[in-house]
């Protein structure tokens, strides 16, 4: 089934989503922040990789991915019901991003859907989100579960896990430390751009995954999505995984400890969820 659509209509719809998300994010800057889950401080090593350059590289890779999907007739058009559903979820989550990363104020959030059997989704540095139809269809995700996936992926970008992971890898390889900032970071800046092509296959640490789970849990709860869906999501993931080596699980390992951590943190965000739900 071909999903090619009128380019002008697609651009108009995408701009409409960006305007709505940006306006909501601006309003959230005045909202009180309370009841947050507890996560550690972001890695100081991430400062070795210029955020703007990595976000620019991510944006270029994202555009290339969309262009390839469009050429194959696999990019969902603006009116596709699943795409509209994902963008509606994003509009409820994006306003709660700023407390986690001030840079998100400058991000041009974007959500797209690609027709593929892959069980996968991601959010690249700078707020570029994509879902594959496989994760929605094969897991039969309801809105709450899809929000948990999106919140988790947004959290990776907000906590700058890709930036930290690249910095740690390159600093180790080049024998660098934070003191390298005094010597100039032109080489690492170029590395950030080059490594942008590897963002989709980047594997995060167990600590990164835990942080993304917890921050994503809170983002979704503040967006009025049931935090208990986080447990249901990973239970579904475990059921379909089997020995198939799912793409999503290659970069997002599952396990009983993950579910236990989520269960322990659900009570911390339940009040946020109930407040958001009552506010409509």
160-200 residue pLDDT tens: 998 888 877 765 554 444 444 433 444 544 554 455 556 66
pLDDT tens digit string along 75-99? 999 999 999 999 999 999 999 999 9
- Residue 276 and residue 84: Cα distance in Å, rounded? 21
- Structure tokens, 278: 């009552």
On whether the CB atoms of residues 83 and 113 are closer than 8 A, the answer is yes
Structural domains of the chain, count: 1
> Residue 231: inside a domain, yes or no?
yes
pLDDT of residue 17: 55
Residue 51 scores a pLDDT above 70: yes
Supply the pTM of this predicted model: 0.81
Chain centre distance of CA 36: 18
CB-neighbour burial class of residue 146 (10 A; exposed 0-12, middle 13-18, buried 19+): buried
Does residue 32 belong to any structural domain of this protein?
A: no
Q: How many angstroms separate the CA atoms of 26 and 117, rounded?
A: 36
What pLDDT, on the 0 to 100 scale, is given for residue 153? 96
Asked, for residue 137, whether it belongs to a domain, the answer is yes
The three-state DSSP-derived secondary structure of the chain is CCCCCCHHHHHHHHHHHHHHHHHHHHHHCCCCCCCCCCCCCCCHHHHHCCHHHHHHHHHHHHHHHHHHHHHCCCECCCCCHHHHHHHHHHHHHHHHCHHHCHHHHHCCCEEEEECCCCCCEEEECCCEEEEEHHHHHHCCCCHHHHHHHHHHHHHHHHCCHHHHHHHHHHHHHHCCCHHHHHHCCHHHHHHHHHHHHHHHHCCCCHHHHHHHHHHHHHHHHHCCCCCCHHHHHHHHHHHHHCCCCCHHHHHCCCCHHHHHHHHHHHHHHHHHHHHHHHHC
Cα distance between residue 154 and residue 160, in whole Å: 10
| Residue 99, domain member (yes or no) | yes
- What is the pLDDT, as a whole number, of residue 186? 46
Tokens found for residue 98: 């700023």
Q: What band does 42 get if pLDDT is binned at 50, 70 and 90?
A: confident
Instruction: Report yes or no on 272 lying in a domain.
Output: yes
Indicate if 153 belongs to the active site.
yes
For 251-266, what is each residue's pLDDT tens digit? 555 668 889 999 999 9
Task: Convert the pLDDT of each residue in 108-133 to its tens digit.
Answer: 999 999 999 999 999 999 999 999 99
Residue 149, classified by CB atoms within 10 Å of its CB into exposed (0-12), middle (13-18) or buried (19+), is buried
Structure tokens at 58: 């991510």
Q: Which of 110, 145, 153, 247 is catalytic?
A: 153
Q: Are 25 and 105 in contact (CB under 8 A)?
A: yes
Section 142-147 average pLDDT: 98
Confidence band for 16, pLDDT divided at 50, 70 and 90 = low
Residues 6+ apart with CB under 8 A from 257: none
Q: β-strand 110-114 against 128-132: which pairing, if any?
A: parallel
Question: Token digits for 114?
Answer: 């690609």
Examine residue 185 and state whether it is found in any structural domain, yes or no: yes
- pLDDT tens by residue, 206-240: 889 999 999 999 999 999 999 999 999 999 988 88
Q: Which pLDDT value is given to residue 19?
A: 54
| Residue 51 placed within a domain | yes
> Quick one: how far is CA 259 from the chain centroid?
19
What is the dihedral sign for C-alpha 141, 125, 94, 14?
A: negative
User: For residue 225, what are the domain limits?
Assistant: 45-279
**Domain-located, residue 25:** no
In terms of residues, how long is the chain? 280
């Amino acid at each position: 089934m071909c999903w090619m659509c009128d380019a002008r209509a697609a651009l108009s719809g995408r701009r409409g989503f960006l305007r709505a998300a940006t306006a909501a994010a601006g309003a959230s800057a005045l909202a009180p922040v309370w009841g947050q889950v507890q996560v550690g401080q972001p890695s100081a090593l991430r400062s070795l990789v210029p955020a703007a350059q990595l976000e620019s590289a991510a944006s270029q890779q994202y555009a290339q991915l969309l262009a390839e999907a469009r050429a194959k007739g696999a990019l969902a058009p603006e009116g596709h019901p699943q795409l509209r559903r994902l963008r509606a979820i994003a509009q409820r989550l994006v306003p709660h991003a700023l407390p986690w990363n001030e840079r998100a104020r400058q991000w041009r959030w974007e959500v797209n859907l690609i027709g593929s059997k892959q069980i996968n989704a991601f959010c690249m540095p700078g707020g570029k989100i994509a879902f594959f139809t496989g994760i929605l269809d094969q897991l039969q995700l309801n809105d709450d579960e899809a929000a948990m996936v999106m919140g988790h992926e947004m959290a990776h970008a907000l906590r700058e896990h890709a930036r930290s992971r690249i910095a740690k890898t390159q600093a180790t390889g080049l024998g660098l430390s934070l003191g390298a900032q005094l010597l100039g970071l032109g080489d690492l800046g170029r590395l950030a751009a080059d490594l942008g092509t590897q963002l989709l296959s980047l594997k995060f640490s167990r600590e990164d995954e835990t942080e993304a789970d917890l921050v994503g849990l809170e983002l979704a709860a503040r967006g009025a999505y049931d935090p208990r869906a986080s447990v249901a999501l990973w239970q579904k993931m475990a059921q379909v995984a089997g020995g198939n080596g799912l793409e999503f699980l290659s970069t997002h390992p599952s396990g009983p400890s993950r579910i236990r951590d989520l269960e322990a943190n659900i009570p911390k965000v339940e009040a946020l969820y109930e407040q958001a739900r009552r506010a409509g």
